[in-house]
Structure formats: structure tokens, C-alpha cells
């Protein structure tokens, strides 16, 4: 699905599809995904998948799992829709009622591509006009930005990239906006009327866009000093760097990259990779549906969850570290011994943990289908089938790693470095 969303985003970037209509089509893809999952979210699916897999493995550990459905036996109607849109815009065929197309797209999630066939035939026969796709205006607006001490900078951008950099003596917010209209005059009028909105309340300074159709805006913000930041981006990448405060991000379709924070960090991603670097935090929480998670040089407690993607934590120091992945491998490299709680769980993927000497914890390593290897010298070690238990030091903390389908490996950091 992510490929189709990226293709829709590219059509928007090329001016061949308005952001509002693209959002409708993307919503249709999510509706299709939810329909496929029977209305359950990714983590409910994860729990169901893990339970079903575990029960099946316990009942018949040597049984061969059924082959996956033949992906080539049918084509996703929504993928066909995107291909048709791309073809039509390239050919310059004239007019599309995108609201109607997106409505039909939603219906196709339940009824199939036949509900779209008639509308697409009308498009291909040129019964409606696509001339507005060739009209556009560009405008750049830069405004001074002041954030009183104690207030949070909040950015809401529905379509476009957001970049926030802290530590400037003088703050500014720059919007690079692109406009599409039904006619050249319409696009020009939208550009002339446009201005970036900055609103201040008791607790926040809010930067947002006016309610204008056919608008795409990339924001670049130079933050005066440092402080807390919140960002919500529907379609576009998010970069927040050197703000030295707490941070909360929601990204729907795009990558999230954070660096140089100091405070509570919360990230919720849907389609895109998430990266956090050089951050000290009492709590780093990451939830990502489709995309990889990478956290590097983090000092603080970490809770990372991925529905579909790999997770890599490197050079991390935390009393409590919890990592979950439904489909994807997990790699954790610790800078300090385990004396608190380390829990790692994956349904379908390998787990590799690198830990320095001197840990004080009870150790449990297990997998239902895969191999378990432990490079640590455990006291009271027991090994049975694909499960190893034991103790490091007095056993004060907890080191618990489990997989349903995948290998589990724990290695001593010095041994890895020497090799």
C-alpha cells in the first residue's frame, strides 16, 4: 500500500492531483486495509496473529505452515486506480471529478473495482475537464516568530514537509506554498490571498495553514532559543533538530527524523521510517505502523512498537527498554549492563542483543520456531528445546526476549567489538 500512497503523493508534487483529493484517495487505501483486517487495527492484528501462531506451534511444532495466498491471482483495485490516474494525467485526458473518484475508491474497498469502471471509462472518453491540472502558482511567505518562555511551539501542516531547527537568536517561519486552481486566475487569486497563520494562546504558539483547497506547503521554522515542540503532518516528512526540549509528533505519510532533544518524546507514525538521535529523555515512546525504527545515542527509558518494520536501537542507556515488532527484526546494542528491565518481543523476525559485561538480572530467552543462542555465562542455566533461562549477578533485573517465528541471539559487547 505504501508504494501507491507514494505515487499519489508524487502526483500531488507534480501538480496533477490536489492535496484534498489525494487525502481522499489515501483515506480510501486505509479503508481498504481496514476492510482486509476485518476492522481491527495493526496491534489487534498482531495480538491475534501471535496467539494463533503460538497455538499452532504448540499443537504441531513440526507442521509446515500453509502457503500464503497467491498474490498474483488478482490485482488490488485501488492499485489499478492509481495506475489509471497516472496514465490519464500523462495523456492529458480531460476532467476528473476527484471527489466522485475517491468516493468510488472507498466503495471499491468493499465491492471491488467494478464500482469504479464506469467512472474511469467516462474519464478516458474525455467527458470531464482536467485543464485545471496545468494551472499553478508559487508563493513564499516568511514571518517573524517569537515563543515566550514556557509555551509550546505547535505546528499543524496537512500537506507538505516540516523542518524545525532550534537555537536561533531570532526566530522565523517560512512557508513555500504551491497552489492549484480550476483556472490560472483561480490559482493566482489563492496565492495572492494566502498568508501563514500564527496564533498564540495561554500555553502554545500555533502555526497552521488557512483553509484553502489545492494547497501544498513546505514549512521551515527557525526556532528562537529552545523548548517544547509538537508537530502534526498528514503528508510529508518531519525534521526536528536541536530544540533541546520535549517533543510530540504525529506523521501520517512520511519519514520522521528527530535529533538533539531533551525531554519526553512521543512519536506516532503510520507510513514512513522513524529516526531519533542524540537525545536525553525520561521517556521515549515510538509507535510506527509501516516503516523502520532507528534510535541512536539515546539516554533514557525506551518503549518502541512496530507493526511492520525493523527496529534498531544502538548506543542506548536506559533503565527500562521495551521493544515489540509484529513483522520485522529487532537489534538492540546497549552501552550499559542490564540492571533494570529489558523486554523484547517479535512475532515474525530475528532478535539480536549486544550487552556489556556486568549485568545483574534474570535471563529468559525463547522462540517457538527458530534457534536460541546465548554468548553470556549464565548462573543456574537451564536449556530446553528453544528456551534458555539463567541468572547474571544477583538477578535483580529482568532480561526477557521472546520470538514466535525467528532466531534469538544474545552476545557480549566486548566479544563483538574485538571481532
| pLDDT tens for each residue of 70-81 | 444 445 555 565
Domain interval for residue 239:
136-245
- Both 171 and 240 in one domain: the answer is yes
- Both 196 and 157 in one domain: the answer is yes
Tell me the pLDDT band of 37, cut-offs 50, 70 and 90.
very low
Per the domain annotation, does 25 fall within a domain?
yes
User: Please, what is the average pLDDT of the chain?
Assistant: 81
The pLDDT score that the predictor gives to residue 16 is 64
| Mean pLDDT across 19-23 | 63
Query: Which segment of 91-105, 161-175, 257-271, 289-303 scores lowest on mean pLDDT?
Result: 91-105
Per the domain annotation, does 391 fall within a domain?
no
Task: Report whether pLDDT(2) > 70.
Answer: no
Task: Report whether pLDDT(67) > 60.
Answer: no
Per the domain annotation, does 208 fall within a domain?
yes
Task: Report whether pLDDT(182) > 70.
Answer: yes
- Both 90 and 109 in one domain: the answer is yes
Task: Report whether pLDDT(269) > 50.
Answer: yes
Per the domain annotation, does 403 fall within a domain?
no
Per the domain annotation, does 366 fall within a domain?
no
CA dist., res. 226 & res. 144, Å (int): 16
| Mean pLDDT across 235-264 | 97
Which of 111, 133, 155 marks a domain boundary? 133
The pLDDT score that the predictor gives to residue 112 is 46
- Both 161 and 211 in one domain: the answer is yes
Alpha carbon distance, N-terminus to C-terminus of the chain: 41
C-alpha cell at 50: 501471535
Task: Report whether pLDDT(372) > 80.
Answer: yes
Q: Percent of the chain having pLDDT more than 70?
A: 66
- Both 96 and 214 in one domain: the answer is no
* Residue 4 three-state SS: helix
The pLDDT score that the predictor gives to residue 385 is 87
Q: pLDDT tens digit string along 253-262?
A: 999 999 999 9
368 or 41, greater pLDDT: 368
Task: Report whether pLDDT(263) > 60.
Answer: yes
Per the domain annotation, does 362 fall within a domain?
no
C-alpha cell at 30: 486505509
The pLDDT score that the predictor gives to residue 301 is 97
The pLDDT score that the predictor gives to residue 312 is 98
- Both 142 and 188 in one domain: the answer is yes
CA dist., res. 2 & res. 307, Å (int): 14
Find residue 312's DSSP bridge partners: 294, 331
C-alpha cell at 120: 474511469
Q: pLDDT tens digit string along 184-220?
A: 899 999 999 999 999 999 999 999 999 988 899 999 9
- Both 164 and 200 in one domain: the answer is yes
| Mean pLDDT across 143-154 | 96
- Both 115 and 202 in one domain: the answer is no
- Both 143 and 175 in one domain: the answer is yes
326 with 405: CB under 8 angstroms? Answer: no
Which of 203, 218, 245 marks a domain boundary? 245
Query: Which segment of 133-137, 207-211, 356-360, 397-401 scores lowest on mean pLDDT?
Result: 133-137
Tell me the pLDDT band of 132, cut-offs 50, 70 and 90.
very low
Cβ neighbours, 10 Å, residue 303: 17
Query: Which segment of 299-308, 330-339, 350-359, 408-417 scores lowest on mean pLDDT?
Result: 408-417
- Both 109 and 179 in one domain: the answer is no
Query: Which segment of 93-102, 171-180, 297-306 scores lowest on mean pLDDT?
Result: 93-102
Residue (of 251, 248, 291, 285) closest to 161 by Cα position: 251
Which of 114, 133, 152 marks a domain boundary? 133
Per the domain annotation, does 374 fall within a domain?
no
- Both 29 and 151 in one domain: the answer is no
- Number of structural domains in the chain: 2
| Mean pLDDT across 26-54 | 52
Per the domain annotation, does 61 fall within a domain?
no
The pLDDT score that the predictor gives to residue 393 is 94
- Both 15 and 114 in one domain: the answer is yes
Q: Which of 31-40, 116-125, 174-183 has the highest mean pLDDT?
A: 174-183
Amino acid at each position: 500500500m505504501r508504494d501507491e500512497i507514494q505515487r499519489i503523493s508524487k502526483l500531488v508534487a507534480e501538480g496533477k492531483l490536489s492535496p484534498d483529493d489525494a487525502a481522499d484517495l489515501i483515506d480510501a487505501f486505509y479503508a481498504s486495509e481496514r476492510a482486509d483486517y476485518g476492522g481491527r487495527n495493526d496491534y489487534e492484528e498482531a495480538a491475534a496473529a501471535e496467539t494463533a501462531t503460538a497455538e499452532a506451534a504448540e499443537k504441531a511444532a513440526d507442521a509446515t505452515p500453509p502457503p500464503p495466498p497467491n498474490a498474483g491471482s488478482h490485482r488490488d483495485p485501488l492499485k489499478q486506480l492509481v495506475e489509471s490516474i497516472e496514465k490519464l494525467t500523462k495523456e492529458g485526458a480531460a476532467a476528473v471529478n476527484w471527489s466522485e473518484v475517491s468516493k468510488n475508491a472507498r466503495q471499491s474497498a468493499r465491492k471491488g473495482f467494478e464500482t469504479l469502471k464506469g467512472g474511469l471509462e467516462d474519464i478516458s472518453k474525455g467527458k470531464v475537464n482536467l485543464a485545471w491540472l496545468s494551472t499553478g502558482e508559487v508563493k513564499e511567505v516568511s514571518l517573524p516568530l517569537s515563543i515566550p518562555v514556557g509555551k509550546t511551539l505547535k505546528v499543524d501542516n496537512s500537506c507538505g514537509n516540516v523542518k524545525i531547527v532550534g537555537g536561533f537568536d531570532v526566530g522565523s517561519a517560512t512557508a513555500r506554498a504551491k497552489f492549484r486552481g480550476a483556472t490560472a486566475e483561480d490559482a493566482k487569486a489563492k496565492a495572492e490571498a494566502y498568508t501563514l497563520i500564527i496564533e498564540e494562546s495561554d500555553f502554545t504558539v500555533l502555526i497552521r495553514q488557512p483553509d484553502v483547497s489545492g494547497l501544498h506547503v513546505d514549512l521551515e521554522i527557525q526556532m528562537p532559543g529552545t523548548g517544547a515542540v509538537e508537530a502534526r503532518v498528514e503528508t510529508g516528512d518531519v525534521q526536528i533538530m536541536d530544540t533541546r526540549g520535549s517533543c510530540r509528533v504525529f506523521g501520517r505519510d512520511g519519514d520522521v527524523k528527530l535529533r538533539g532533544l531533551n525531554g519526553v518524546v512521543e512519536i506516532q507514525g503510520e507510513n514512513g521510517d522513524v529516526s531519533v538521535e542524540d537525545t536525553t529523555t525520561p521517556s521515549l515512546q515510538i509507535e510506527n505502523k509501516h516503516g523502520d525504527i532507528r534510535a541512536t545515542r539515546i539516554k533514557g527509558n525506551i518503549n518502541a512498537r512496530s507493526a511492520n518494520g525493523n527496529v534498531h536501537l544502538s548506543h542506548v542507556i536506559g533503565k527500562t527498554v521495551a521493544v515489540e515488532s509484529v513483522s520485522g527484526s529487532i537489534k538492540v546494542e546497549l552501552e550499559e549492563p542490564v540492571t533494570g528491565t529489558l523486554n523484547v518481543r517479535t512475532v515474525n523476525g530475528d532478535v539480536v542483543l549486544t550487552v556489556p559485561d556486568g549485568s545483574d538480572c534474570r535471563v529468559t530467552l525463547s522462540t517457538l520456531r527458530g534457534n536460541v543462542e546465548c554468548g553470556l555465562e549464565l548462573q543456574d542455566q537451564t536449556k530446553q528445546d528453544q528456551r534458555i533461562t539463567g541468572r547474571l549477578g544477583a538477578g535483580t533485573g529482568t532480561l526477557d526476549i521472546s520470538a514466535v517465528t525467528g532466531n534469538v541471539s544474545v552476545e557480549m559487547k566486548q566479544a563483538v567489538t574485538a571481532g
